[in-house]
A and B are shown apart, each in its own frame.
Chain A
């Protein structure tokens, strides 16, 4: 969805043509046409995601399971001491994150929620953003929702933050002056270099990206896109990223969670 005067649109069209993209101005993706990044991958990458004994993301899920059951902090408590078996207690949780946090009066994402628990309930030092431990716990928790539909954004208190995320999604930025929507709403399915542009539905995070040769978060992926358009990325854990995450999850409402997904 682009709300810009025609001249700006043609400027964008010229910019997209430089990158070999067609200047088709589609609106928001219709529900029936929404597709996971999974559908845009090669058969080999799909097979890798589908085989839990070959998907490298599963190694981190196993690390997460170990951390879930390990005591931490001055409180000497594990995640399991409060939450019990993640298999039961965490089912569907990742599907509704980022969620509203009454104390902070704003949404927090799954990583933020895990670190809050660590700080407040375990009396432990929060994990660094993008650390293997935080990714492992987030992957383990999100894995419990695999196959369940995304329900993020249902809390009415989230409305202004969804709108803020939407505004960031549509805002042009960087030296290339692209918004997220320019690629992922208007030109999905086209090629950028040798890669297919997906629709940017965050269905499988944290996920194993072949490019990273590791598991990473949605925020890391967003940073990559921002650097790609030559923009200054927001800091990890910043409110901008959480609002953007929230909008993207809301935009993917109803699509099934795939964690740990594999992407090229």
Chain B
């Protein structure tokens, strides 16, 4: 699945998007954030405070318990500061 990052999450991970293939036991947004955090130092830094990370699945907000099966694009980003 495609994962996209924004703002300081993007800067810390060091890339704007990538294709990932998490194992089957990674079933929710929260699981995905935890799994990504274990992929190396930059990911650990980006996801060191998982409760701060916001997510969207296919352009709609998705709380941590949302199941990711079938998602085309998952976005992970900090709390929004527009307006």
| A, B: real partners | no
Q: Which residues of B contact A (CB under 8 A)?
A: none
Q: Interface of A with B (CB < 8 Å)?
A: none
